[in-house]
Amino acid sequence: MRKRVVITGIGGLCGLGTSAPAIWDAMRAGRSAIGPISNPALHDVKVATGCEIRELPEHGVERKQLVAMDRFSLLAVIAAREAAHHAGLSIGEANTHRIGATVGVGVCGWEVIEENYRAILLEGKSRAGIFSVPKAMPGAPAGHVSMNLGLRGPVFGVTSACSSSNHAIASAVDQIRLGRADAMLAGGTDAPMVWGILKGWEALRVLSPDTCRPFSADRQGLVLGEGAGMVVLESYDHAIARGADILAEIAGAGFSGDASDIVAPTIDGPERAMRACLADAGLRAEEIDYLNAHGTGTKANDQIETAAIRRVFGDHAYKLSVSSTKSMHAHCLGASGALELIACVMAIREGIVPPTANYREPDPECDLDITPNTARERKVRTAISNAFAFGGTNAVLAIRAV
């Protein structure tokens, strides 16, 4: 019998707020944080809409560590510290080797890369900053979480574009089930609000000029945001032994590859990932109450995800509560899945389904109950969270009440 893995702490920050409770309060209220980009350095981007963290909270990270951190690492550390505090997880010499961290990242430390381009190509400097490589590398956030919290168990980064958080969380579950750790900090982070990243996304022609309207017939595309989300995962026995408050249980995970196109999704890949998740969790389709959709707000993605949900859930698809919280916190790339897991945990805890904000017009191709604009009270015993990424890397998580 495999080990049960539970969630005992959550932490996060994004445009909606700088703590998990603040994020959930905004989600529950259906409040979108998407708006005009305020950073003056981004004045010449054509689509100047995003979801920024306007001010970071007090974090207490020492300057010695800060000088070697890019923004995406700092966001991960702040979220991890909150999650560990929420879980009441005490870390010391007795258990440090049994606690680790996995952090998903969609891109990398792009701020330092742009700083170096400006310094060398525009300002004529002869060399890059001394910490450029460790700041930029995609594995940096996991390393900084480990250093900041003193974690000496399994520590590694995961990168699979927009599925990175879900892959990282599932990988952390595996470490616990394999006996390599008793507890793991897991989640994702990204800080893509920089010129080069925004110009690259502009070129793809998938950015919305105003806001994100998933599943609405008049949707115009996705919106980029920054943020981080982290959870504390523990074996059920470990959590019980230390008297932890168990928030929910990771019931299962499912993965698939489209093996088709680097950017265009298929129906088959998401369908197989959802089916694999249900099988891994030992759940029937009709047992799922809430589905947090990938729901990016692009024409193709929303229609394809709806079709895949119909295939997997059959008639029950129309009894599901579905929503896309990206309509409020935008697409935070490698952090999105972790922020959406917070939504799932709190939906189970409070019996409230967060809405799909900014919804205006029904789309016959997206005909599910997508919880438009207003949160809804519903007993949520089980939920699944979808993440589908460029490259056809699909990852789905299932969680349930304990």
Cα–Cα distances (Å) from 122 to 31, 117, 181, 195, 280, in that order, read: 40, 7, 47, 15, 53
Using a 10 angstrom Cβ sphere, with 0-12 exposed, 13-18 middle and 19 or more buried, the burial of residue 92 is exposed
Rounded Cα–Cα distance for residues 395 and 162 (Å): 9
How far is 317 from 308, CA to CA, in rounded Å? 10
E-state strands within 201-326: 227-235, 248-257, 290-292, 321-323
Amino acid present at 46: K
Instruction: For residue 22, give both structure tokens.
Output: 């603040």
- Which of 230, 370, 205 has its CA nearest to residue 291? 370
Name the active-site residue from 14, 51, 162, 344: 162
Contacts of 111 (CB under 8 A, 6+ apart): 70, 71, 135, 191, 194
- Using alpha carbons, select from 20, 24, 47, 50 the residue that is nearest to residue 35: 50
What backbone phi and psi angles, to 5 degrees, belong to 119? Answer: -65, -45
Q: How many whole angstroms separate alpha carbon 189 and alpha carbon 211?
A: 22
Q: Which DSSP helix (H) or strand (E) runs through 220?
A: none
Closest to 364 (Cα-Cα) out of 284, 307, 290:
307
Taking Cα atoms as reference points, which of 383, 377, 335 lies closest to residue 162? 335
Specify whether the CB–CB gap between 119 and 269 falls below 8 A: no
331 is catalytic: yes
Q: Which of 277, 331, 332, 366 is catalytic?
A: 331
294 is catalytic: yes
Residue tagged 């019998």 (tokens): 1
Structure tokens at 131: 């910490």
| 348 within 8 A of 248, measured Cβ to Cβ | yes
Separation between Cα atoms, residue 113 and residue 128, nearest integer Å: 9
Measured CA to CA, the distance from residue 388 to residue 391 in angstroms comes to 9
Question: Tokens 């981080």 — which residue?
Answer: 228
Catalytic residue among 294, 329, 344, 366: 294
Catalytic-residue membership of 344: no
* Positions marked active-site: 162, 294, 331
